[in-house]
Amino acid sequence: MGEHPSPGPAVAACAEAERIEELEPEAEERLPAAPEDHWKVLFDQCDPENTGYISTGKFRSLLESHSSKLDPHKREVLLALADSHADGQICYQDFVNLMSNKRSNSFRQAILQGNRRLSSKALLEEKGLSLSQRLIRHVAYETLPREIDRKWYYDSYTCCPPPWFMITVTLLEVAFFLYNGVSLGQFVLQVTHPRYLKNSLVYHPQLRAQAWRYLTYIFMHAGIEHLGLNVVLQLLVGVPLEMVHGATRIGLVYVAGVVAGSLAVSVADMTAPVVGSSGGVYALVSAHLANIVMVSTSRSQRVFLALMEFGRAVWLRFHPSAYPPCPHPSFVAHLGGVAVGITLGVVVLRNYEQRLQDQSLWWIFVAMYTVFVLFAIFWNIFAYTLLDLKLPPPP
């Protein structure tokens, strides 16, 4: 999956440039991992007077002489970077960064100043790609809003590790559903079965002190119609996002949406149980859509699926319950997931290679999420008693 065609540049200009940090270590493997002292020797050869600077012309000559060692898709950007230095000189640290294939602030300057020097050929115009290369290109266009990031991802992706998190979670949800279907003898609208809420994974307001239920409810679905919509959204949105951003980031957004969903129900819809993975799914969907400016037809289909699933949840919540006085599961978990997606999720997805700890907004939204979780915990401890709320009996 990591092979790429030799013809055609793979990096193009992008008018909208944000601060670009260094590539993750695995993405730097495209260039030879030469030690810094090797580049220092080359630099000194071009700087016999030890001024600490070399001309961009000499830098271009170095690139030309080492072109056989460079990925052809990176070489064009490095040449544009050389041309972008208005003072005609490149310092030693810039030299090491560029020859080591690090995307530092020098890249930002090149994008801003060297747009016209870069080829305008888009990644979509590249021909002769294999099936795996077309898949990687499709994922890049589905998940990344900027052309330069799409091309850099396309050049760097190796399918190692594969998107295991979303696939594993989805398989577990299907396995639990099939097990419940067999044990209950019911696959459609399982939530109407009198023994459904007795499962120890479901969040129930009377059992809210059992902390694991705020997370394990994702393995219980109202029926095959509920599971089907969630699984389709998880695979269509979650797997491509994980291929780009990795299991850690996507898992973080997903789990944060799941926990926020159940806590939101415990605060805003206090008498209702919660089932399904919609909190995590809607965190991913809303983060993805908020991160992409232009919504294509395929993304519009995902919006339609998300709205259809949300409409089903609203209908079910207000439908007469099959086991009064306990109502059907709440739809507020969807809204909790959306809130996580458009705050914490957007920051996580905004720049696929920028480290989260370097983003100030990341810490702001983490603090907001922490405050909400603490508020919900205290609410669950004190509010139910203070409000003298009448809860449905335990299942």
Catalytic residues: 278, 334
The Cα 43–Cα 95 span in angstroms is 8
- Residue 333 · residue 264 · CB < 8 Å: yes
| Burial (Cβ within 10 Å: 0-12, 13-18, ≥19) of residue 116 | exposed
The Cα 44–Cα 217 span in angstroms is 63
Q: For residue 247, how many other CB atoms are within 10 A of its CB?
A: 17
The Cα 170–Cα 296 span in angstroms is 25
The Cα 268–Cα 273 span in angstroms is 12
What residue has token string 């991913």? 284
